[in-house]
Structure 1
């Protein structure tokens, strides 16, 4: 069972929690992280979602909901460790975008880490991720244009232009 801290529309923690999978009340929010990893060549690490998840077989950055007691950075580091078996250095990451998404009842925090990850060393979490690869920014844009990325990631091209 996964438990989330609940925040109000101004991102103030309410002191209440929520169990994942249950309907979330109107006006309640939780925090979701998207973690983008860029290597020294400027390539971006993307992962392919499991076919049994929402947006099956589409590509994205690693991520998910932070759990009760975590902050956004801690959640980002944990999600990457769980989903691809990589330990990132918190010093190599920065929060580059945070968006309140009323339709999803969440705050989506985008983290950008600059790290060289050898994908031969990753350990994919079988129920979450089925593939991983490095792509150039041009390839990432082409993936989005051809509907190979999760559709909510329409901002990625601008994200990487701003953070180079």
Structure 2
């Protein structure tokens, strides 16, 4: 299953690049996130509650930052397991800056196994895109909130 998504942050690329890898920003931005821990540099474990239509489950994900080309590209390898099945995916994230904004392109190639795969690609892809939209909107708010706090703290 292929998933493509684009989002434009109203922030410069350097800031988005730095904050996109921050454990606290990620934890606060991921929909249904119960826990998010950096186990080692570039290796995370997350527990996420997934609600896509009639599908409800809790998945444990292992996430590796596999390839990194600062400050424009990285690849994630993600493996998740829940009661309803497993998800293995490779995610490519590309960022381009234009006039102080950052256009992020998200491209995933996911394999869904088990009962979860019976839901159908259209339902899963639509649910994934809705989750991505929520994730990036929350992430931008979290980054802006942090920048505001840092600015206020430096006065």
What TM-score bracket applies, with the shorter chain setting the length?
Answer: under 0.3
TM-score (norm 2): 0.26
TM-score (norm 1): 0.25
